[in-house]
Amino acid sequence: MKKLSFLLLSIILTPALLPGQNSDGDDDPKRSTLDFSTGYFNYASIDALFSGNIYSGGAPFISVGYQKQKRTPTQTIFRLAYINRYPHSLNLHETVVPATSNLRLINHMHFEVDDFYFFPVPGLSRNNLTVSIMLNWFSSIDLTMNNRMMPEQLLSTIAPGFMMDFNHSRHHIQARVSTALISYTCRSNYSNTLPQDYEKLSIGRFIRINSRLQLPNSLQTIFSEINYKYSFSDKIGGVVYYNFRYLHNAKPRTLAAVSGTYGFGIYFKY
């Protein structure tokens, strides 16, 4: 069990630990950026394993990011939110679905690690505009806390894409988009039954029997973000951003999920 938990954490956290920030011997003292942000995270999904209905909700989130400017710029973002999600269109009767039922309310914990590697394309870059090919390693844990903490989905995906970066004076605008190429996922089985090792539920067994690798024929995503930064000085600045994601996973039954993240924060260069 501990080994499996360690394996899971490794899968999720490895992208964050792999940037290799020191590999090019960069010694510029102000080429690293640390940012803290918060805002509002909206999430909605239809998970056919659980229901044919949309369950949606929103909640504040917290986020920490680290960025390194070097020959291959990298960025890592951690984001956490607890969301109460409610059925979008259902009129549920108290005597049929009690207040504590996850058919009425999903206590959803979302944690993600978003890791980026940028490869600038010199031919497409002009003056203040930089265009980069981007490799996005995105990992997320979505747990239903009031269903024995079972995952709606564990996801770790490699998503290539593009990034455009525009700088003018104190203004900095970045837009990026990527789509999943190869993904590790773990969701409940087709019959949505919890594996039980006799006396107790087994999260380790859940992961062991429900993990799979997926390609775009069964899992499609759009990950996108636009952000605006304003430098107050050469060390500190503010940031606002909107992040949009869409996911469609056909295995074992259809999960369609969409999220919108509205964030603002502060960054420090050092």
8 A C-beta contact, residue 153 and residue 255: yes
Question: 78-91 as b/e, with b when 16 or more CB fall inside 10 Å?
Answer: bbebbbebebeeee
8 A C-beta contact, residue 55 and residue 49: no
Among 25, 89, 99, 234, which residue sits at the site for other proteins (rule: CB under 8 A)? 89
From 11-19, 42-50, 159-167, 175-183, span contacting other proteins (CB under 8 A): 42-50
Nearest in space to 160 (alpha carbons), one of 140, 187, 188, 132:
132
From 129-137, 159-167, 172-180, 256-264, span contacting other proteins (CB under 8 A): 256-264
C-alpha atoms less than 13 angstroms from C-alpha of 103 in its C-beta half-sphere: 11
Contacts of 83 (CB under 8 A, 6+ apart): 41, 43, 57, 58, 59, 108, 109, 110
**Min separation Cβ 58 and other proteins, Å:** 6
90 sits near other proteins (criterion: CB under 8 A):
yes
Query: How many residues make contact with other proteins (CB under 8 A)?
Result: 42
53 sits near other proteins (criterion: CB under 8 A):
yes
Among 54, 59, 64, 80, which residue sits at the site for other proteins (rule: CB under 8 A)? 54
The stretches of the chain forming alpha helices (DSSP H) are 2-17, 203-210
Give the nearer residue to other proteins in terms of CB position, either 16 or 222. 222
Contacts of 124 (CB under 8 A, 6+ apart): 131
Cis omega (within 30 of 0) for bond into 60: no
**Min separation Cβ 238 and other proteins, Å:** 16
Query: Using CB under 8 A as the criterion, what x/- string covers residues 197-216 for binding other proteins?
Result: -xxxx---------------
Nearest in space to 261 (alpha carbons), one of 269, 16, 246, 248:
246
Give the nearer residue to other proteins in terms of CB position, either 5 or 53. 53
Within 126-165, the residues that bind other proteins by CB under 8 A are none
190 sits near other proteins (criterion: CB under 8 A):
yes
196 sits near other proteins (criterion: CB under 8 A):
yes
52 sits near other proteins (criterion: CB under 8 A):
yes
42 sits near other proteins (criterion: CB under 8 A):
yes
What sign results for the dihedral spanned by CA atoms 68, 69, 73, 79? Answer: positive
256 sits near other proteins (criterion: CB under 8 A):
yes
Contacting residues toward other proteins, per CB under 8 A:
40, 42, 44-46, 51-54, 56, 58, 87-93, 95-97, 103, 189-193, 196, 198-201, 242, 244, 246, 252-253, 256, 258-260, 262
